[in-house]
Amino acid sequence: MDEIGISAEVPDWSRERIERFWDPGKKMIRAVRRYQAARARGGMFGRLAARYWVLNHLWWSTICQSELHLTTKIGGGLRLTHPTGIIIHPEAVIGVNCMIFHQVTLAGPVVLGGHVDIGAGAKLIGPLKVGDHAVIGANAVVTQDVPAGATMAGVPARVISRRTV
């Protein structure tokens, strides 16, 4: 636990709970998770289930006009508040309890720590690492590693504030 009482290791699964019929971001995340589970299960049933989740993922990706690859490593508690136009590289790694707004691009092998918030329109051009509890401002273009607890903004992005985590 850090000084604000949040562990970067423990996912908050309630953030991914589907609560209404039209919840495209959460349904797209569910399709990725179920696909990965079906592939891990293996066997004939696993292959059939994986095919179903590929189609389900294709549907929600088309609705959202987003690319969240089926093989992306995603920590629990990911929140896609407005899931339109999000592009995530297949080699990206997303930590627990992150929040990604619309029109965000993770280009290349970007590694997000836990509890990272990325504002609308931000572009993270990897390879780079973002520390726990970092905040990336709207429309920022990040081309370098981000320290834990930092707030980055601008084009190119620079640290505008820091907090201890």
Q: How does pLDDT run across 100-145, given as a tens digit for each residue? A: 999 999 999 999 999 999 999 999 998 999 999 999 999 999 999 9
User: Quick count: other Cβ atoms within 10 Å of Cβ 98?
Assistant: 24
Percentage of the chain surpassing pLDDT 70? 95
- Token pair, residue 162, equals 């820091």
Cα separation, 81 vs 25, in Å, equals 7
* Mean pLDDT value across residues 67-95: 94
**Model confidence at 5: pLDDT above 70:** no
Structure confidence at residue 8 (pLDDT): 54
| Chain mean position to CA 34 | 16
Please tell me the distance from the alpha carbon of residue 40 to that of residue 38, in angstroms, as a whole number: 5
* Cβ 152 vs Cβ 141: under 8 Å: no
The closest alpha carbon to 10, from 77, 56, 81, 106, belongs to 77
Using a 10 angstrom Cβ sphere, with 0-12 exposed, 13-18 middle and 19 or more buried, the burial of residue 96 is buried
Give residue 164's pLDDT band: very low, low, confident or very high (50, 70, 90).
Answer: confident
Give the DSSP letter of residue 98.
Answer: -
> What pLDDT, on the 0 to 100 scale, is given for residue 6?
46
Q: Which two tokens stand for residue 48?
A: 């059939």
- Which domains occur in the chain, in start order? 13-162 (2.160.10.10)
pTM, rounded to two decimals = 0.88
> To which residue do tokens 């589907």 refer?
18
Structure tokens, 149:
């607890």
From 23, 11, 18, 21, select the one nearest 83 (Cα to Cα): 23
Q: What are phi and psi of 86, to 5 degrees?
A: -85, 130
